[in-house]
Chains A and B, each alone.
Chain A
Amino acid sequence: MGGFMKIILKFFLVLSTLIPLVTFSSQVFSRELVVWSRHSPSQNLVDAFNKKMEAEGKDLRAVNSVLGGDFVPKFTAALAAGERVDVAAIDLIYVPYYASIGALEDMTEFLKGKDYYNNLNGPMMHLGSIDGRHYSAPNDLGISGFAYNKKLLPNPPTTWAEMTTMCEEFASRGKFLTGWPTVSGGGMIYTHAPWGWAEGGAHSGWVNEDGSTANLNDSTMQAAFDHFTNLQKIGCVPKNVAAWDWADKQDAFLRGELAMIGTGNFIIGMMGDYPDIDWGFFAMFSSDGTRKSAFVGGDLIGIPVTTGDKEGAMEYIEFILSAEGQSVYTRQNGGLPIRSDLFNTDPCMTDNHRVFLNAGDTGHVPYTVVYNELMEPWGVAIQEIYGGGNPGSVLAKHNARMQEIIDEGPE
């Protein structure tokens, strides 16, 4: 970027960083870590870390900036301007891009030195790695699955054929079995694509393992879309589902109008607010019900190359990965540990949590350095299919576009 542009960017970044600094710092410490994160619950982790540092008599404190939906453009601008960020908790799907442009520090030796190295979530570690080197570690998990209302659906379906039978029964009563957020590309990859992955295995139905080949038109993904368009035709899905966003289907479920919806483990935290719903959860499954899958989402944590205190950043990440740090997340309703050795020992884990954890075991998250760009053909494909298009031809058309994007790569 041009020098003058960098100065302007720096000016605004310094301003935006100063505001939280002024808000959160009541005392000045000689080592202050600049932590950038997406979600507000991260503040609990930062508070717990600072308390630990205080108890240990260390002069290191973390200052958290929660950037919400603007995280990616702001973080990218910070990198371009060379702005100091010591720790960044990034939506995992963007990490391959940041790692590929050399924006993150190598953490391989640090992570391999930990006893729990082999217990760190596999799909998340895969996303943060290039040629066996790790550029990030799991921070928090967001695994997708299905929620159902036992008052409307006493037992969830276990095969696609069973789901179709249930759909016919619901349609005959003029009721709705399910609905989905067609206009939300992110929502659909989270709660819809895993049906295809369960049918065809990980790395089928979006991109292959290293992200070099698009396979959106994989026969298994097509089978999943055929199944759901069939439900649409039967009539157990609201007619306007093609115009639905995430909030539409979630609100319809919470109002008791839908018997089951795709969602994530975070919804466990909302159960208490909706006592009228008799909650149940299940993982997405293959047509014969023998294989499960999920979208393994969440944030990865890394050290940007613009850090001013790599050692301090390591100490912070070590705290997050520890059982103590993980318990901060899991104590919050719905939180899941990113270490498999904590699945059974963490007292906060319930059977509901384990539905998501088990789905995550065979879950998947696509590896690609052009995720955002691929979301466009994916999003359009879904809208065309549920708007009445033929799944086979639509997927083939947009698979070709995805391949073009992959071949072109990032700028």
Chain B
Amino acid sequence: MRRSDKEQIIGYLLILPAVLLVLIFLVYPFLNSFYMSFHKWPVFGDAKFVGFKNYIKVWKDDQFWNSLYFTFLYTITVTPMLFALAIPIALLCNIKAKGSTLFRSVYFFPVVLSFAVSAYVWMWLYNESNGVFMYGLRYFSIVSDDYNIWLERNSSLLAVNIQITWKFFGISMIILLAGLQSISDDYYEASKLMGASRMQTIWNVTLPLIKTSIVLCLILSIAGSMQVYEPFLIMTQGSPANSTKTLVMHIVDVGLDYYKLGPSAAMGTTLMIILLIITSLQLSILRKDNK
């Protein structure tokens, strides 16, 4: 056996555990879910092939469309909020100053908190009687004395978006920071020599050079937002009147609460296809720009 062959075999063996984990916990469940989506799948007894019946059922399910619409609404509102906070903070953290490492850690801290913990913390902040947030809004007469943020869909959405932005902007910030730190100082020096202002430098030099990082953040944000579950489950429980029920909440309800595994699998497959399309579009735009 040649040395290169031996190295190749060792290489394959080393990645085997990771490949096995991906196969067992990602590929197999996806393929099984795809298979299930064409079957009537009772808890007891044998599965029965039903063709596209589950997909037709999903198509006719009003709550599926409501949840899909709401999930899109959440995605397109939370993503700009994340970027609006992550980009300036990343730019500030990129300044070589004393204590910047501490600030990076502080800004990243909410990311390591569990969903449940951060959701409950924010629910207390929003609490109509004791919440600091509500107290502040009332103090400045922005809302009435008996205002409750969970009474309407849009205010509930905004409340959750703020919590998510606070919790997750740290991830985007770290990715963007990595992009910023890979930019050579030569670009900034050239820009300075050409008399560009600080804003012009950011707009014409910094942002184009971290485009790959921005697209990566965008992909992560959109893919993550489309699969949002815990924040709305804990903070709104889908209320008022299911108007904040996300698609994954609906999929879980149909599959694990109603035990309709076939239709639930059909919805899961549909979501997977939607995500594949969105991600492919984002990647193709990035490739086109890079060319």
A residues with CB within 8 A of B:
1-2, 4-5, 8, 72-73, 76, 79-80, 97, 101-103, 182-183, 238-240, 242-243, 245, 370, 372-373, 376, 379-380, 383-384, 387, 410-411
Contact = CB atoms under 8 A, between A and B. Distances in A.
B44 A79 contact: yes
Task: Please name the 7 residue pairs, one residue from A and one from B, whose CB atoms are nearest each other, closest first.
Answer: A240-B148, A243-B150, A383-B241, A183-B239, A373-B258, A372-B257, A411-B260
23 contacts: A4-B28, A4-B32, A101-B45, A102-B44, A103-B44, A240-B128, A240-B146, A243-B128, A243-B239, A372-B258, A373-B258, A376-B63, A376-B242, A380-B241, A383-B241, A387-B240, A387-B241, A410-B42, A410-B258, A411-B42, A411-B260, A411-B261, A411-B262
Given A97-B259, A410-B260, A411-B41, 12 more contacts: A4-B28, A76-B259, A79-B44, A103-B43, A183-B150, A240-B148, A243-B148, A372-B258, A373-B258, A410-B259, A411-B40, A411-B258
Contact of B242 (A76, A372, A380): A380
B269 to A, nearest CB: 16
Interface string B236-251: 0101111000000000
A239 B240 CA distance: 15
Contacts of A5: 32
Contacts of A76: 43, 259
A4 B23 CA distance: 13
- In the complex, which of the residues B24, B40, B240 has the most CB atoms of chain A within 10 Å of its own CB atom? B240
B239 to A, nearest CB: 4
Given A372-B257, A383-B239, A101 B146 contact: no
A73 B257 CA distance: 7
Contacts of A240: 128, 146, 148, 151
B256 interface: yes
Most A C-beta atoms less than 10 A away, residue of B28, B40, B257, B259: B259
A239 B262 contact: no
B256 A73 contact: yes
Interface string B121-136: 0000000100000000
Interface in B210-260: 237, 239-242, 253, 256-260
A376 B44 contact: no
A372 B253 CA distance: 9
A376 B253 contact: yes
B27 to A, nearest CB: 12
B126 to A, nearest CB: 11
A80 B44 contact: yes
Interface of B: 24, 28, 32, 40-45, 47, 63, 128, 146, 148, 150-151, 237, 239-242, 253, 256-263
Given A80-B44, A411-B42, A242 B240 contact: yes
Contact of A79 (B43, B146, B237, B241): B43
B43 to A, nearest CB: 5
A266 B47 CA distance: 42
A4 B28 CA distance: 10
Nearest to A373: B258
A372 B42 CA distance: 16
Contacts of B47: 1
B28 A101 contact: no
A102 B43 CA distance: 10
A6 B211 CA distance: 46
Contact of A384 (B45, B63, B241, B262): B241
B241 A370 contact: no
Which of the listed residues A103, A183, A387, A411 has the most CB atoms from chain B within 10 Å of its own CB? Answer: A411
Contacts of B261: 411
A380 B240 CA distance: 8
Contact of A101 (B42, B240, B258, B262): B42
A73 B237 CA distance: 18
Contacts of B258: 370, 372-373, 410-411
Contacts of A245: 237
A5 to B, nearest CB: 7
A103 to B, nearest CB: 7
Nearest to B45: A101
A12 B215 CA distance: 38
A178 to B, nearest CB: 17
Contacts of B32: 2, 4-5
Nearest to B147: A240
A380 B66 CA distance: 13
A239 B146 contact: yes
Given A76-B259, A240-B148, A1 B253 contact: no
Nearest to B41: A411
A93 B60 CA distance: 28
Contacts of B240: 183, 242-243, 383, 387
Given A183-B237, A411-B261, A1 B242 contact: no
Contacts of A183: 150, 237, 239-240
Contacts of A373: 257-258
Nearest to B151: A243
A373 B264 CA distance: 13
A389 B112 CA distance: 42
A358 B52 CA distance: 52
B151 A1 contact: no
Contacts of B128: 240, 243
A411 B242 contact: no
Contacts of A239: 146, 148
A379 B242 CA distance: 9
Contacts of A242: 151, 240
Contacts of B40: 411
Contacts of A182: 239
